[in-house]
Amino acid sequence: MNGILLAMQGAVSQGILWSIMALGIYITFRLLDIADLSVDGTFALGGCTMAALVTAGVDPLVATACAIVSGALGGCLTGILTTKCRIPSILAGILTADS
C-alpha cells in the first residue's frame, strides 16, 4: 500500500510540473501568436541545472535561483534569435530546445 501511495505522489508531482510547461507553451501561442517550443528545452535545462548543483552540495534555494536564471536565459536566447537574427519563431524555439 505504501508503494502505491509513493507512486501516486510522484505521478501527481510530475503532472503538476508538466502542466506548468504546457501553460508556458499555451500562453506564448495564444497571447503572442508565437509557437515557442523552447519551453520544452528550457524546462529541462532548469531541472538539470538544479540537479547538478544540488548533487554538488549547493544550497537548494541557491540552486533553485540558478535553475530559474538558466531557464530564463534560454528563453532570452530564443527571443534574441527571433528578433535580432530574424530566425522564424518556430525554428528559434527548436534550436534553443535542442541545444
Mean pLDDT by 10 residues, the chain (99 residues): 84 88 80 76 88 96 95 89 88 79
Question: What DSSP string runs through the chain?
Answer: -HHHHHHHHHHHHHHHHHHHHHHHHHHHHHHH----THHHHHHHHHHHHHHHHHHTT--HHHHHHHHHHHHHHHHHHHHHHHHTS---HHHHHHHHHH-
Torsion, CA 18, CA 25, CA 62, CA 76, rounded to 10? 160
pLDDT of residue 99: 61
The model's pTM is 0.69
